[in-house]
Amino acid sequence: MTDVVLRGVRGFVSCLRVLGALLLLASVAINFSNVIGRYFFSASIHWAEEAMLFLMVGCVFLGNGVVAWSGRQIRMDVIIGMMPRRLREALDLFSELLFIVTALMIVVFSWPVIRDLWAFDQRSQSADVPMVLPQAMVPIGLSIMVFLVVVRLLTGGDTGASRNPGH
């Protein structure tokens, strides 16, 4: 059963990587097109900056799932790294549980904002993008992270020694 779950999650993480890469490539393509248009044709794309910003938000919040799965979030763990293994593992678990609670709270508190953006059909100024799309990336990305951290904690995931090299 664990192997099936891990295989499915690995596939999901691969999809997140591809989607993040596609969003990043789209942002680079828009930027390149805007530079070419501005400097060679004296016509810039008026919605380019906004679109690139929204694409980067999607890239970051989807990419966070990949980071959460590997357990390689930024940590201030110099002192924790010097502690005995059992205490270090307990603090790592506490850190993961604290992340789960915090992320879930943000997800819960963000839904009224998402709901209102959807109801009022608020749009960005230049690109005319429904603001619900980039704003929804926050709770979606955090929900993905929570899911992947929970699966990693329950199954042992793919991290093992790669999380704390040398320990």
Domain ranges of the chain: 2-161
Confidence of residue 166 (pLDDT cuts 50, 70, 90): very low
Q: If 0-12 CB within 10 Å is exposed, 13-18 middle and 19+ buried, where does residue 129 land?
A: middle
**Using 50, 70 and 90 to split pLDDT, how confident is the model at 131?**
very high
2-22 pLDDT tens trace? 888 899 999 999 999 999 999
What whole-number distance in Å separates Cα of residue 44 and Cα of residue 64? 32
Element housing 52 (H / E): helix 48-70
Q: Which ranges of 78-157 would DSSP assign to H, the alpha helix?
A: 78-81, 85-120, 132-155
